[in-house]
């Protein structure tokens, strides 16, 4: 009788311990879920952080530069300079130089020597260039422009010049990454000797 009682008590004790072990296992389940929940929350925070960064801008701050090939006929060689601050393009400059002209293209146009209006255009080259620059600042993407086969666009009112070179160079500059800013002020520099050579003139 005592043996039977001891066996019965042992069986009950084992059952009780097994039940406790089962409860511990059930309690452990939510603890295992907690890291997953935290991970999900962390991913959500990361996503929000990425969205915020995208809203603020996608480019690395700095100065960007690209230069094209010289036109064999006119001699003009275009270049584009972009400034990025806060991840966004804040300034865009389109200009060109030529060995045939003593000043840059913007200055040449401002002096009335490029002759866009004389040729029937609504405005001079430098005025059209400013509209093109502003378009890029508004769109923030050099690929966000519809061009025809001639490299022109109807997307920018009052612009009749070929703009494909500007947007291609802007894209090249952004793809290449920021460059170290130079120490000189933008512009054209010119110097002459004191007098003509006596023999060659």
Do 19 and 105 fall within a single domain?
A: no
- pLDDT score, position 56: 52
195-198-201 Cα angle (round to 5): 75
DSSP secondary structure code for residue 150 in this structure: T
Do 81 and 159 fall within a single domain?
A: yes
Residue 132: how many other CB atoms lie within 10 Å: 19
- pLDDT score, position 166: 98
| Residue 190 lies inside a defined structural domain of this protein | no
Alpha-carbon distance of 101 to 121, in angstroms, equals 22
- pLDDT score, position 80: 98
> 58-79: per-residue pLDDT in tens?
999 999 999 999 999 889 999 9
Alpha-carbon distance of 73 to 50, in angstroms, equals 48
Low-confidence ranges of the chain (pLDDT < 50): 1-55
Q: Based on the structure, what is the number of domains in the chain?
A: 2
Q: How many residues does the chain have?
A: 201
Contact (Cβ atoms closer than 8 angstroms) between residue 66 and residue 172: yes
Do 67 and 110 fall within a single domain?
A: yes
- pLDDT score, position 183: 82
Do 30 and 7 fall within a single domain?
A: yes
Do 47 and 68 fall within a single domain?
A: no
Calculated CA dihedral for residues 164, 170, 175, 181, nearest 10 degrees? 150
Contact (Cβ atoms closer than 8 angstroms) between residue 67 and residue 77: yes
DSSP secondary structure code for residue 123 in this structure: S
- pLDDT score, position 11: 45
150-123-158 Cα angle (round to 5): 55
Nearest C-alpha neighbor of 75 from the set 99, 93, 51? 99
Do 76 and 163 fall within a single domain?
A: yes
- pLDDT score, position 25: 44
Do 46 and 70 fall within a single domain?
A: no
Domain holding 97: CATH number? 3.90.1010.20
Nearest C-alpha neighbor of 127 from the set 102, 104, 94? 94
| Residue 140 lies inside a defined structural domain of this protein | yes
- pLDDT score, position 27: 45
Q: What is residue 179's three-state secondary structure?
A: strand
Do 38 and 101 fall within a single domain?
A: no
- Angle between helix 125-139 and 164-176 (nearest 10): 50
Question: Taking the model in full, what pTM does it have?
Answer: 0.65
> 183-196: per-residue pLDDT in tens?
888 777 778 888 88
Nearest C-alpha neighbor of 82 from the set 157, 150, 139? 139
Do 32 and 128 fall within a single domain?
A: no
- pLDDT score, position 182: 78
The values of phi and psi at residue 187, to 5°, are 150, -175
Contact (Cβ atoms closer than 8 angstroms) between residue 65 and residue 179: yes
Do 76 and 35 fall within a single domain?
A: no
Contact (Cβ atoms closer than 8 angstroms) between residue 80 and residue 51: no
β-sheet bridge partners, residue 83: 63, 91
């Amino acid at each position: 009788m005592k043996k039977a009682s001891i066996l019965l008590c042992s069986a009950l004790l084992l059952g009780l311990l097994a039940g406790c072990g089962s409860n511990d296992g059930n309690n452990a389940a939510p603890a295992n879920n907690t890291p997953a929940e935290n991970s999900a929350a962390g991913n959500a925070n990361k996503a929000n952080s990425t969205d915020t960064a995208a809203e603020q801008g996608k480019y690395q701050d700095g100065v960007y530069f690209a230069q094209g090939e010289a036109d064999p006929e006119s001699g003009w060689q275009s270049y584009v300079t972009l400034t990025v601050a806060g991840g966004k393009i804040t300034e865009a400059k389109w200009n060109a130089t030529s060995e045939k002209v003593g000043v840059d293209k913007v200055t040449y146009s401002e002096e009335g020597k490029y002759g866009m209006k004389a040729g029937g255009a609504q405005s001079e080259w430098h005025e059209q260039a400013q509209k093109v620059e502003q378009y890029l600042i508004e769109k923030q993407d050099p690929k966000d422009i519809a061009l025809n086969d001639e490299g022109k666009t109807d997307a920018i009112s009052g612009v009749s010049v070929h703009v494909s070179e500007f947007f291609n160079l802007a894209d090249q500059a952004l793809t290449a990454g920021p460059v170290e800013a130079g120490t000189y002020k933008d512009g054209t520099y010119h110097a002459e000797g004191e007098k003509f050579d006596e023999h060659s003139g």
